[in-house]
Amino acid sequence: MRMVRLAVLAVIAVAVGGAGYVYRDQVAQRLGFGAAASAAEKGSAASPAAAAQPQGRRGRANPGGPVPVVVTAVTPKPMPIIVEAVGTVQSISSVTLKTRIDSQIVKVNVQEGALVKEGDLLFELDARTLKAQLAQIEAQIRKDQAQVEQAKRDTVRAGDLLTKGAGTVVARDTNFTTQKAAEAQLEADEAMRQNILTQISYTEIRAPVSGRIGSIPYKAGTILRVGDNTATSVLATINQVDPIFVQFAIPQVFLPDLRAAMAKGDVKVTAIVDDNRKQSGSMAFIENNVDPNTGTVTGKAKIDNANEGLWPGQFVKAEIMLGTEPNALAVPAPAVQLGPQGPYVFVIKDGNTAEVRPVTISRTQGGESVIASGLKAGEQVVVDGQLRLVNGAPVAVRPPQGEPPKASATPRG
């Protein structure tokens, strides 16, 4: 009786094990691993044809029938050559305003953060002392002018007397020297007058450039000292915002191409804040050396900024357009897959078969990958449905999502 029970248990174990293998085979097929994966779990080796596949998933095609895929044709078209970099917005001019004389603020004519124009009067300082000095020196100048006129008349008379024998040479020379001294004193006082006028001009602090003014820590009544060189002695800072610079660093490998493009004309640079905010300008400057620590070279683009969409200190994405490749082979970026041996695509062969094709990517931009090698014009590549594909799998081309299916000439049974 005991032997019979053992025999029954052995039969049940074998049946359960077999069922387990069958169940695993079904799961493997549903997941797209194919018979090769199931055979590997059972201890058998994969077929030589599967092992020879260069890229992609290996195994048997989907047993449920052709895999529905979306394809696109590879056609030559112009593609821009763009270098992308992280840029920083910088003011072309950033001017710090400080006093040039010891005085007191009488009036502040600008609000913090206001947009100012070159020449606008921003601060007025107390000029009463300087104006009094100006009146004093102007009076001295009038006195000097009178003395010069008198000295000239004396010199003329001394000359006339000398010619008539009634004067002396010494008297004539003395009068001439007095005239020259009076003229020199007049010139000195006129220079002093100009100096005072210059100092009076310092009492009116005007905007040296057009731009946005920053915070204004000092108000009317504040005493200003020229000798105060601390950071807190700054009256305000004006940043020029239109036009504006975008500074970026690009790898040195692009430097020859960038210089060649600039030699041909303006190089377009686009500053991108987000998808809805883009502003374009042109290259204005390349640094005269490559940073040996990073292997990059710094450049600046000058961009019109009348709408003030770019703000000093802001980080943006910079796109530098070096030119256009007239007949580039480009495919949508989702068509390119990454495998153990590098990027590859699925190419449709004979209208209904997927073939793995290794490709070389030149660059990816604007949602498209430019193919350097591996594809030919006119071939069709899969852009959707690759997850269920293996090399040699049958496919059924379907229209992109949202497009109505094309009418088939072959009726379905």
pLDDT recorded at residue 228: 82
pLDDT recorded at residue 408: 43
Residue 44, pLDDT > 70, answer: no
Residue 412, pLDDT > 60, answer: no
Average pLDDT (266-293) is 94
Residue 308, pLDDT > 50, answer: yes
CA distance 187 to 245: 47
pLDDT recorded at residue 64: 63
Residue 404, pLDDT > 70, answer: no
Average pLDDT (122-130) is 96
Higher pLDDT: 116 or 364? It is: 116
Residue 332, pLDDT > 80, answer: yes
Average pLDDT (156-184) is 90
pLDDT in tens, 272-281: 999 889 999 9
Higher pLDDT: 122 or 401? It is: 122
Confidence (pTM):
0.66
Confidence of residue 413 (pLDDT cuts 50, 70, 90): very low
Using alpha carbons, select from 301, 271, 264, 265 the residue that is nearest to residue 283.
301
pLDDT recorded at residue 27: 35
Residue 333, pLDDT > 90, answer: yes
User: What does pLDDT average to over the chain?
Assistant: 84
Residue 36, pLDDT > 60, answer: no
Residue 177, pLDDT > 90, answer: yes
pLDDT recorded at residue 167: 82
pLDDT in tens, 206-240: 999 999 999 999 999 999 998 887 767 899 999 99
pLDDT in tens, 61-108: 455 689 999 999 999 999 999 999 999 999 999 999 999 999 999 999
Residue 376, pLDDT > 70, answer: yes
Average pLDDT (332-356) is 92
pLDDT recorded at residue 12: 40
Average pLDDT (347-373) is 91
For the chain, list the domains and their CATH numbers: 2-51 (no CATH), 67-79+326-397 (2.40.420.20), 82-92+239-325 (2.40.30.170), 98-238 (2.40.50.100)
Taking a C-beta distance cutoff of 8 angstroms, is the pair 89, 300 a contact? Answer: no
Q: Which of 53-62, 143-152, 176-185, 394-403 has the lowest mean pLDDT?
A: 53-62
